[in-house]
Amino acid sequence: MKKTTAKLADGREILYYDTDESAVRDTVDRRRLEPTAVRSAIRRDPATGDSVTIAAHRQGRTHLPPADECPLCPSTDARLSEIPAPDYEVAVFENRFPSLHPDADAPRTERPLRTAGPGTGRCEVVCFTADHDASFADLSEARARLVLDAWTDRTAALSALPGVEQVYCFENRGAEIGVTLAHPHGQIYAFPFTTPRTTRIAARAWAHRTATGRNLFDDLLTAERTDGERVVLAGEHWTAFVPFAARWPYEVHLYPHRRVPDLTALDEAERAEFPRLYLDLLRRFDRLFGTGRTPYISAWHQAPREQRDELALHLELFTIRRTADKLKYLAGVESGMDAFVNDVSPEHAAQRLREAAL
């Protein structure tokens, strides 16, 4: 892999990742851009302890542009985009409308019930391909591996930044999910706090360790592989299964067999096998309903800085679609009480996904 680092017109960083070591990425960004003022703040919910990011400056971000004005396509003489190069394999750049920023400008307060501070961190956009009409599922295994290598490189770099506690790589696909740019891409957030879901998971992991002397994720993966009823597919180094208490109609968790804290700790054998299994899963999702591309969220769960021993790297892939013409909306009990009701049994979902193999 070759990595080339450059700057956009407003000083933001852009990185190109290429399989071709001879690739030259020296195109200058010819736009006239002023640096964006980022005034995001992180406030602590006094009732739950959760950190909430307030980023009101993002209201003006790009929203559903036509294909010929896509900011993630390569630049041309007639239209300059966020990617100055006339072509690329994988490109990563600092988000122009970030929720978090190293220089976020917001006051810090430590009053009772009023804890807040600047929304420091970093938000990046990961473009998987220059082809506007493609999706991740259309990528070759070699290109999917390049994306994995880019995720890994960015995880290492962002984890090393002062104040960053957790790095989160993810992809939203489909208008139903709320995607505002149709070009195949994902994002990376470098949080200055441990996310609420990870905090809850860590508490369960430590409780399991205290009660049994064993690791929760080791036991979870062993139980699913032994039972087998919810396993969708398995390789030599990874297993994908529908969790016993799945929250979403079709939800799959992909675990490496060897517990590691984050992407940087995967070995070469694990990296080599991942693209085939992940592409297989994405293509099964697309075959589920006979409607073409299934909307989904794909989320890498990585251990935060201070909890690398007990937590386990894994990927969670799920769709909000429950039938060909019905979506799973987060309504009163889910949005109001965080109490999920799933309309599809995990065992049935696993069977459907096994049947969706080519």
Q: Which residues of 68-105 are buried (b: 16+ CB within 10 A; e: fewer)?
A: eebbbbbbeeeebbbbbbeebbbbbbbbbebbbbbebe
User: Does 132 have pLDDT greater than 80?
Assistant: yes
The answer to whether 116 and 52 have CB atoms below 8 angstroms apart is: no
pTM summary value: 0.96
**Which CATH architecture is the domain 2-193 placed in?**
2-Layer Sandwich (3.30)
Residue of 185, 208, 301, 314 with catalytic role: 185
185 catalytic per annotation = yes
Kindly report, residue by residue over 23-36, the tens digit of the pLDDT.
Answer: 999 999 999 998 87
As a whole number, mean pLDDT of residues 54-58 equals 87
Polymer length of the chain: 358
The answer to whether 315 and 299 have CB atoms below 8 angstroms apart is: yes
Report the percentage of the chain scoring pLDDT > 70: 100
pLDDT at 109: 92
Kindly report, residue by residue over 157-184, the tens digit of the pLDDT.
Answer: 999 999 999 999 999 999 999 999 999 9
**Beta strands in 10-113, from DSSP E residues, in sequence order:** 13-18, 41-44, 51-54, 90-94, 109-111
User: Does 64 have pLDDT greater than 80?
Assistant: no
Of the chain, the end-to-end C-alpha distance in Å amounts to 31
User: Does 62 have pLDDT greater than 80?
Assistant: no
**Which CATH architecture is the domain 197-355 placed in?**
2-Layer Sandwich (3.30)
Task: Give the largest CA-CA distance in the chain.
Answer: 64
Residues of the chain with CATH 3.30.428.10: 2-193, 197-355
pLDDT at 39: 86
Kindly report, residue by residue over 274-308, the tens digit of the pLDDT.
Answer: 999 999 999 999 999 998 899 999 999 999 998 89
Q: How far apart are CA 314 and CA 252, in angstroms?
A: 10
- Helix orientation angle between 346-355 and 268-287, rounded to the nearest 10 degrees: 100
pLDDT at 322: 95
The C-alpha torsion from 128 through 134 and 138 to 139, rounded to 10°, is -30
User: Does 57 have pLDDT greater than 90?
Assistant: no
User: Does 61 have pLDDT greater than 90?
Assistant: no
Residue 331 in 3-state DSSP? Answer: coil
